Structure 1
Amino acid sequence: MDRFGIVFDRGTFFPGEPVSGKVVLKIGKEISAHNIKISIHGAGRTEWKEVIRNTRYVDGKPEWYDETLCYSADLKILSREEMLWKAKTVSKIPAGHHVFPFSFRLPSSSPPSFEGKHGHIRYGVEAELDRPWRFNQVDRRDIKVSSYLSPSPLSNSPATKKDVKEIGVMFKKGVVKMKVTIPKQFVSPGEEVPITISVDNESSRPARRIRWELQQQSHFHASRDSSLRKKSTHHEQHRDKIKTVAEFSRRTEVPPYTKSEKEMVIKIPALPPTFQSTIIKNEYVLVVKLDTETSLNNTLRCEFALVIGKARPRPSAVPSAPALVDRSDSMPPDYSSLMPLDHSGAGPSEVPPSYEDSISVTKM
């Protein structure tokens, strides 16, 4: 067999839209086959283990032991199967290049693809060629699912955060103030976001460095069934994972008792969008820091919650009727407003003479 595989129409799919493509079969000679079927599957799962120290009594004496608790949760998104081709009378496929198109529609509530430390959300398509008396041919492909977001007016507006700190511990060095402004909090991968940092250094020590970092904050939810009591109880648990996905540091100089304004640019990397499902929640936080020249209590900090993703496309505008024209005296009259002609009298509206009448000579 030369080739049997899945080819998608595009690389990324969105909720509510079809996952479309084709199964390609290229063979140099005729083969026997029962059918060709295709299936799509989407699901999420979280899981982790936790070891706790417990005690029990053996022969009346306490004994310590380790107990492993297993937490997990599953999210079913979709599971469908379709028959692309099935033999009727003769279970033969002739030699040549064969194409079998397919299409599955994703549920509108589908969360995006995601891979994390304690869980994942995955989508995949599998095609299978059922052959008699031979091993079946199978091809599996993962699907990348993203999501559209609907930003609020507030997330598209400028945001400002402030921090004030009296630096030093035992020997105070004075007050340093920092104000950070970003143009908006809804951003897309690949977008460059300017950051404006205003520093008012009222201390006796200079500010030396400005830093920013973009954090991915993932939250995982799971549960376990416990039989410690007579009645089974449901124990819920969660895990958090904070990961720095981008960062930058720049040396600066804000001398004592001076003010300064600095600008930096952050380029948003390719990341899974902000989303929330029943088992996984994914968020992003931009942290901006200012380091001063003191050994302790020397860093000012501002945080912004960012929404990262692709904005939902606006619906196509329906063409509206042309506007009424304000007619002036110099324009010709509107024909729909003309008065009907009076056909009762003589004039251009009279019935024209016949041909005979036109050529006859009037006698005097």
Structure 2
Amino acid sequence: MPGKDLSIRYDPINEANTFSRGDFVKGRVILELNKEIKADAFFVKLKGDANVRWTERHNDKNRTYSAHERYFKLKHYFIREGSEAGGSEVTCGDTYSNVVPPGTHVYEFCFQIPQGLMPPSFKGHHGKITYRLEAKLSRSWKFPLTASTELQFVSRPDGTELTVPLAGEANKEMSLFTSGSVSMKANTEKMAYMQGELVIVTAAVKNSSSRPLKIKYSLQQRLKYIASGSSKTSSHYIFKEVGDPIPTGQNQTITKELQLPSDVQPSIVHCKIIKLEYTLKVYLDVPYASDPEIVFPLVILPRGQFPLSTPSRGPFGAGQPGWNGPPTHNAAGPYPDASASGVYPSPTAPGPYQHHFTPSMQPEFSNPNAPPPTYSELYPTPSAPALYPNLPPPTAQGFYPAPSAPGQYPNPNGSGSFPVPTAPGYNPPPYSTTGNPVPSAPEYCPDPYPTKTPQ
């Protein structure tokens, strides 16, 4: 609009220019005018949304499927009148005169992203997840003046179970063109990995069959859109790798390093209408028969955003003391209890071979010769509700559990909680090019804002 311009700028909080739950978003809305105007309302809002939409052909008719999910919406008013005032989503702050003179005016704002579990930013062919700052200036009998900008949001890890090693077992009796049997045990060091990280898989294979067998590895990505009782799914393999043959009559323990791509899309877990999941499959290639396989769900996190502790390498989950045990007194919390730490039950999949899938839980104890304690002895609260109560068997394609309650996790600065600004809260009046200069990213986030009498 000639003579009028509106823009939004925000202050980055890290080198990657990303935000997560609990972070503060500080910035300013800049309004440039060449003449005086009278505003009915002027505000900036921060919101997070997911949207899905696609069209299918049914019986010579097009049917459109769509869905929307909102995570939060926060508003900060600079100018408000009548029905624009109030509301649970409106932050408290300074309000200014609805008569705005010509010049360049800077209005500062500060939001804190809620602590709930939310999915990362994402854009796909049939849906997207966006986090946006939007500003709007409304005037009577005039088109509103608007501006917007997107934030890159990343999901913070939501459970200690992400660092628990996963183990599985598969057995198969041969028939037809192959005789004998084969058994395999495999484990991964943990469930969650960063982009570009190495996935260490250890497998012990006992080949009692009449054929040499090759061990294979594959990582599959599965993307699913959900709307109006229907879904649209696509999947593809990120990589496939083949190991050396295991001769007949031999037992071998094999450790394999699998490199995750640095640009692979992070997992989408906490979204009801868009799901992006990964499964790592370790299997033996049996000619002319079904393959014994172990399937592990993997969670992929943004590279370098939220470091996870990694257990020392060892066969089948024997890690360093304490890395997979109960949190110490100075650990950040709250943590899931015993029933949540188990993550996955031990189902027996139907079919020609058995497939057991359990986390490896082997913390060190003072008496190494004593028998290992039971699970209930390690964690005395087995009756607490499980974090993932409806988990399907691990061989089922495409699943990711949805945690029921948000947790708190240490800030990347290691303090154990999100910092609270200590500078006195204030909200200065708009700056003009002829008066006060625009300040350089002051280190404060007023909460609550003091009330200022409109000019």
Q: Per the shorter chain, which TM-score range?
A: 0.5 to 0.7
- Aligned partners of 1:251 and 1:186: how far apart in 2? 24
1:69-88: CA deviation from partner (whole Å, max 9, x where unpaired): 32222123334444568676
- Of 81-90 and 170-179, the range deviating more from structure 2: 81-90
Which of 170, 195, 215 is the matching residue for 1:163? 170
Per the alignment, residue 12 of structure 2 pairs with 9
Residue ranges of structure 1 left out of the alignment (5+ in a row) = 54-65, 224-235, 319-364
Does the CA-based 8 Å contact 2:170-2:293 persist in structure 1?
A: yes
1:111 and 2:118 matched: yes
The equivalences for 1:73-88 within 5 A come to: 73-83=67-77
- Aligned partners of 2:297 and 2:215: how far apart in 1? 23
1:61-105: CA deviation from partner (whole Å, max 9, x where unpaired): xxxxx34332222123334444568676661216xxx75432223
- Aligned partners of 2:299 and 2:179: how far apart in 1? 37
Per the alignment, residue 103 of structure 2 pairs with 93
- Aligned partners of 1:198 and 1:151: how far apart in 2? 29
**Which amino acid in the other structure matches residue 260 of structure 1?**
Q
1:313 and 2:409 matched: yes
- SS of the residue 1:107 aligns to: coil
Task: Say which structure is richer in strand.
Answer: 1
1:148 and 2:153 matched: no
| Distance change (3 Å), C-alpha of 1:171 and 1:150 | same
Shift of 1:247: 1.6
- SS of the residue 2:209 aligns to: coil
- Aligned partners of 1:33 and 1:200: how far apart in 2? 83
- SS of the residue 1:19 aligns to: strand
Residue ranges of structure 2 left out of the alignment (5+ in a row) = 80-95, 309-407, 418-455
Does the CA-based 8 Å contact 1:287-1:302 persist in structure 2?
A: yes
1:100-151: CA deviation from partner (whole Å, max 9, x where unpaired): 43222323336222334543221222346899xx999865322122222332
**Which amino acid in the other structure matches residue 19 of structure 1?**
V
Per the alignment, residue 188 of structure 2 pairs with 182
- Aligned partners of 2:25 and 2:233: how far apart in 1? 32
The equivalences for 1:195-210 within 5 A come to: 195-210=201-216
| Distance change (3 Å), C-alpha of 1:173 and 1:115 | farther
Does the CA-based 8 Å contact 1:126-1:140 persist in structure 2?
A: yes
- Aligned partners of 1:117 and 1:277: how far apart in 2? 17
Does the CA-based 8 Å contact 2:44-2:134 persist in structure 1?
A: yes
With normalisation by structure 2, the TM-score equals 0.52
The equivalences for 1:124-135 within 5 A come to: 124-127=132-135
Per the alignment, residue 227 of structure 1 pairs with none
Per the alignment, residue 266 of structure 1 pairs with 258
- Aligned partners of 1:243 and 1:32: how far apart in 2? 57
Does the CA-based 8 Å contact 2:192-2:300 persist in structure 1?
A: yes
Does the CA-based 8 Å contact 1:114-1:272 persist in structure 2?
A: no
1:242 and 2:235 matched: yes
**Which amino acid in the other structure matches residue 227 of structure 2?**
A
CA RMSD of aligned residues (A): 3.8
Rg larger in 1 or in 2? 1
- Aligned partners of 1:42 and 1:157: how far apart in 2? 31
- SS of the residue 1:164 aligns to: strand
- Aligned partners of 2:298 and 2:195: how far apart in 1? 12
Per the alignment, residue 286 of structure 1 pairs with 280
Does the CA-based 8 Å contact 1:7-1:21 persist in structure 2?
A: yes
- Aligned partners of 1:105 and 1:317: how far apart in 2? 17
1:260-303: CA deviation from partner (whole Å, max 9, x where unpaired): 222112344453344233333443322123325x3x22633210
Does the CA-based 8 Å contact 1:6-1:21 persist in structure 2?
A: yes
| Distance change (3 Å), C-alpha of 1:89 and 1:157 | closer
- Aligned partners of 1:143 and 1:266: how far apart in 2? 32
Per the alignment, residue 371 of structure 2 pairs with none
Which of 264, 269, 274 is the matching residue for 1:275? 269
- Aligned partners of 2:143 and 2:234: how far apart in 1? 43
Determine what percentage of the aligned residue pairs are the same residue.
26
**Which amino acid in the other structure matches residue 177 of structure 1?**
S
Aligned length: 282
- Aligned partners of 2:72 and 2:98: how far apart in 1? 30
Per the alignment, residue 331 of structure 1 pairs with none
**Which amino acid in the other structure matches residue 307 of structure 1?**
V
Per the alignment, residue 55 of structure 2 pairs with 49
